[in-house]
Each structure stands twice: as structure tokens, then as C-alpha cells.
């Protein structure tokens, strides 16, 4: 969690890949990434969170 924001992560495995969706509960904005199913969970969460924060910044929803 960064800047006091709550982020919900959802993992959906698709064969050798996993789709990770990150949703900011304050704005209900969500993004998703895909990665290798055997990648560390923390790494996949970081990628999804970073992408979410990028989108929030671009939309002016994050300082």
C-alpha cells in the first residue's frame, strides 16, 4: 500500500501465464498485467501496482 491507498489484487491463472488485476478502492480504477505463472507473487503485484499508479498519475488522480 502506498500513500494510504488500499489496492485489491486478483490473480487468474491461464496455462503458463497469470493475469494480475490491481484495483484502487478509492477511485475504483483498475489495471492488469500478465506474467509467468511461476514468477514470484510479490514481483507480479509490484508490476500491477506500478502500472496502476502510472494510470492514476496520468489521469490526475494521484499526486
Q: Determine phi and psi for 19, rounding to 5 degrees.
A: -100, 125
Q: Count Cα neighbours of 19 within 13 Å in the Cβ-side half-sphere.
A: 7
pLDDT digits over 15-62, tens only?
999 999 999 999 999 999 999 999 999 999 999 999 999 999 999 998
Q: Compute the mean pLDDT over every residue in the chain, rounded to the nearest whole number.
A: 93
Q: Is the pTM of this model over 0.75?
A: yes
Cα end-to-end distance, the chain, whole Å: 15
C-alpha cell, 38: 511461476
Amino acid at each position: 500500500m502506498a500513500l494510504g491507498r488500499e489496492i485489491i489484487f486478483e490473480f487468474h491463472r491461464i496455462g503458463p501465464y497469470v493475469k494480475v488485476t490491481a484495483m484502487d478502492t478509492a477511485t475504483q480504477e483498475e489495471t492488469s498485467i500478465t506474467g509467468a505463472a511461476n514468477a514470484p507473487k510479490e514481483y507480479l503485484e509490484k508490476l500491477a501496482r506500478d502500472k496502476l499508479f502510472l494510470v492514476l498519475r496520468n489521469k490526475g488522480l494521484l499526486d
